[in-house]
Amino acid sequence: MQIILLTTVPQWDEIMQQFDLAIDGPEDRSPAELSATGSCLPLAARMRPRSLEEYAGQRHLLADGKLLRRAIDADQFTSIIFSGPPGIGKTTLAELIAQNTNSEFVRLSGVTSSVADIRREISYAVQRRQISGRKTILFIDEIHRFNKAQQDVLLPDVENGNVRLVGATTENPFFYVNRPLLSRSMLFQLEPLDNDDIVMLLRRAGTDSRGFPDRKVELADDAAAFLANICEGDARKALSALELAVMTTTATADGITRITLAIAEASIQKKAVSYGDDGHYDTASAFIKSMRGSDPDAAVYWLAKMLHAGEDINFIARRIVIFASEDIGNADPRALTLAVNAMQAIQMIGLPEAKLILAQAVTYCATAPKSNASYKAIEAALKDIAAARVQPVPVHLRDAHSAGGKAQGHGTGYLYPHDFNGGFVNQDYLGIARTYYRPVDTGYESKIRERLHYWRQCRKETQEDTDDRQ
């Protein structure tokens, strides 16, 4: 067993050296050597930062005194999970953590790796620790793709320190990562890079020998600003667009490859909005809250984002119908009719014209008077049903049409409102005193409020007359 162990260790070192070279790029070589060997790597891979000081963005985590930076500098952590959109440096940060803590970096993928792969790498990590004392960082990209069994395999070895797990996910880890694994991990949310960070990376790529060693690149300010803005905080996408622009542009007579705004615009496809599960729910939330806040401009913006990202228009229409009842209610009863009509119309029309129908419904609902009195009424009534004794139906309100009902006196004493002046008569409809519906003094509901006040006043006066006679 010892012989097998000793003969396999050098192979690990050789493999890892090759891996490091492929990921970090041969930055210490001459421009000529780099052109011959490193230029086959994508620009984003060639320009990966070599230290935390070169790392762009995430200052809320890596600035001096921040928790993650302290944990890295002190080499005191067991498991870390990074979440955030693509292209913001999750993998690169994991590699830099391994570098700063002198740890072996082993990478697995939640898409392609199996339980056998996990167990093999953990076994190697244990043997590596026994022989050299060196720790292993096991980086799992797309960790949310691992099923429960795969995640459970990690638990014992994360807990006893055989490996230091660093997971990366584009989804909400609270939804996709097992609770036991979460409880053993430090969770950090990485944010999209801001425009200044991306412009800095683009300019570094144009001047650094790792970027374009055989070219002189000049990036116009407006071109850099355009790429930074269009890439939605995704550094990989920005660098890929720059690489395409440079490699498809002929240098001028002075030997400089000049990237203008027009060239930059032609070097990137339609802006892709990051829209995973979190984006879906967060954008829908902002959409509803903007209509509730009576801001049609914000509501239309979030509608546009959902349409651009390919959201199901039926989902959008259903949310508008729900909103029309929950947040507008009887303040403007026409809102529900319009919302239902919009939902039916988009099914007949489809995109792209359906966007016009949705926009009309959204702007109407955003600018309509608001009331959640109906919503609050049903919630309060449901709470009473669940928590208190359920009230029996008063005898005079029970169905008297059946033979058994008549025999038991059902309906006896019921007063038919249409037989009375104004279509109203005071009688008990519940058996207990409760007020669930409290209309607001807004829109059409203000008229309902007036009527309810009148009827309640009539009931009160009738009750007072009854009490006086008694």
Tell me whether the omega of the peptide bond preceding residue 417 falls within 30 degrees of 0, making it cis.
no
Q: In the prediction, which pLDDT does 106 show?
A: 92
Q: Which of 421, 428, 336, 338 is nearest to 374 (CA)?
A: 336
Residue 11: is its pLDDT beyond 50?
no
Averaging pLDDT over each range in 278-282, 379-383, 419-423, which range is the top one? 379-383
Residue 42 to residue 223: CA distance in whole angstroms: 20
Burial classification of residue 349, based on how many CB atoms lie within 10 Å of its CB (0-12 exposed, 13-18 middle, 19 or more buried): middle
The CATH topology of domain 195-266 is Helicase, Ruva Protein; domain 3 (1.10.8)
Cβ partners under 8 Å of residue 455, min gap 6: 424
8 A C-beta contact, residue 250 and residue 216: no
Q: Does domain 58-189 have CATH number 3.40.50.1820?
A: no
The per-residue pLDDT for range 148-171, each reduced to its tens digit, is 888 888 888 888 888 999 999 988
Q: Which of 321, 239, 247, 305 is nearest to 272 (CA)?
A: 305
Residue 430: is its pLDDT beyond 70?
yes
Residue 187, beta-bridge partner list: 81
Q: In the prediction, which pLDDT does 438 show?
A: 85
Q: In the prediction, which pLDDT does 78 show?
A: 83
Residue 311 to residue 320: CA distance in whole angstroms: 14
Mean pLDDT to the nearest integer, 387-416: 78
Architecture of domain 277-367: Up-down Bundle (1.20)
Q: What is the pTM of this model?
A: 0.57
DSSP state of 42: -
Q: Out of 29-43, 60-74, 268-282, 411-425, which region has the weakest mean confidence (pLDDT)?
A: 29-43
Question: 123 vs 437, which has greater pLDDT?
Answer: 123
Question: 458 vs 306, which has greater pLDDT?
Answer: 306
Question: 98 vs 172, which has greater pLDDT?
Answer: 98
For residue 217, the SS3 value is strand
Rg for the chain, CA atoms, rounded: 33
Question: 270 vs 1, which has greater pLDDT?
Answer: 270
Mean pLDDT to the nearest integer, 6-32: 41
Alpha helix locations (H) across 368-444? Answer: 373-387, 403-407
Q: In the prediction, which pLDDT does 411 show?
A: 78
Residue 440: is its pLDDT beyond 60?
yes
Q: In the prediction, which pLDDT does 417 show?
A: 83
Mean pLDDT to the nearest integer, 349-375: 91
Q: In the prediction, which pLDDT does 277 show?
A: 59
The per-residue pLDDT for range 306-325, each reduced to its tens digit, is 898 878 888 999 999 999 99
Residue 364 to residue 328: CA distance in whole angstroms: 11
Where along the chain do its domains lie? 58-189, 195-266, 277-367, 390-469
The per-residue pLDDT for range 174-210, each reduced to its tens digit, is 888 888 888 888 999 998 888 899 999 999 998 888 8
The helix (H) or strand (E) run that includes residue 106 is strand 104-109
Instruction: Give percent above pLDDT 90 in the chain.
Output: 30
- Using 50, 70 and 90 to split pLDDT, how confident is the model at 36? very low
In order of 73, 231, 239, 246, 394, the CA distances from 255 in angstroms are 44, 28, 22, 13, 94
